[in-house]
Amino acid sequence: MKATETKLKGCFILEPAIFGDERGYFFESFNKEKFTEIIGKEVNFVQDNQSFSSKGVLRGLHYQTGEFAQAKLVRVLQGSVLDIAVDLRKGSPTFGQHVSVELSLENQKQLFVPRGFAHGFIVLSETATFFYKCDNFYNKESEGGIIYNDSTLNIDWKLPQNEFIISEKDTILPNLDNAKL
């Protein structure tokens, strides 16, 4: 597995070794020992989540606070998304900065999003199935979010805004300056 640390310390793009032949392909999508060596610390994933969405669906930017903060290992099982991670770690030299990576069935890339980050994605293909592992259980009282179009984040979502499909809940999120961190 090839691992590349992004400009945001602790946030990694992971690319599996894919073995293909006339029958199809095979790859190891997760190996705890290899993952721990790459990340440099042990992460105990406790929950898997999956979503299915249509083109233009934007989910995010979400995070959990305090003792319920979550690290995520995300990937796409079908289709293509633009995945975004935003550093919310106070005191971090990259606080408020983001990385974006296209995750797809074709490239099989994964993104590790550590605790202390907001996360979101937009579907670029007609449909997409998105899968992620979490290292902590969801807690409604600890949920937080940042509005997708915060001008200080300056995220290029790669689609025209008139194509976005966003939940009402995600359209009323605060900007970074007003978010509960």
Which residues are known catalytic residues?
62, 132
CB 111, CB 11: distance < 8 Å: yes
Max CA-CA distance within the chain?
54
**The pairing of beta strand 57-64 with beta strand 165-166:** parallel
Half-sphere exposure at residue 27, Cβ-oriented, CA atoms within 13 angstroms: 19
Distance of alpha carbon 138 from alpha carbon 63, whole angstroms = 10
Closest CA to 110 of 177, 175, 17, 23: 17
**The pairing of beta strand 47-54 with beta strand 127-134:** antiparallel
CB 6, CB 112: distance < 8 Å: no
